[in-house]
Amino acid sequence: MKDCNCIFCKIANGEIPSATLYEDDSFRVILDLNPASRGHALVLPKEHYANLFEIPEDVLGKAMAVARKVGTRLFEGLHADGLNIVQNNGESAGQTVFHFHIHLIPRYADDSVKLGWKPGTLTDEDKAQILDLFG
Ligand code: 5GP
Ligand code: ZN
């Protein structure tokens, strides 16, 4: 299903032109308009799923395969030193476009990309409570 108000639906399905690196029946991979680094790209499914919790498992698996295929070409072709795969779900996690997408962010030794967090400490209480969820 497409969402006619969703910009990534329009881009993925070719209604809005984009710098396309890869396309097949189910996905389009485009260059990000505001890249974190040289070669920053986005894997977009052509169907609309808001996030990780909505995308069916088989589509997710194919999306990761596309991410690896295009990520490898970016990594090798741009002589990157590393590659981050980032996938945001929800505003608090930094999601700004609510159509599932995977970021491919090539990394270079001297880049200024910041994806870090301040490491905390796993408390015994949290550990017990969270392990309980998976009982
Ligand atoms: P999010 O923050 O939702 O994980 O990522 C959204 C990404 O989409 C951002 O990196 C942003 O730069 C990119 N973006 C937003 N609108 C457009 C657009 O119209 N075209 C392209 N190519 N990228 C976009
Ligand atoms: Zn959409």
pLDDT per residue as tens, the chain (135 positions): 666 799 999 999 999 999 999 999 999 999 999 999 999 999 999 999 999 999 999 999 999 999 999 999 999 999 999 999 999 999 999 999 999 999 999 999 999 999 989 999 999 999 999 999 999
Q: For residue 127, how far is its CA from the centre of ligand 1 (angstroms)?
A: 35
The span from the CA of 110 to the CA of 125, in Å, is 40
Mutation pick for ligand 1 pocket among 97, 103, 105, 115 (CB with most ligand atoms within 8 Å):
97
Q: Which residues line ligand 1 (CB under 6 A)?
A: 7, 18, 30-34, 42, 88, 94-97
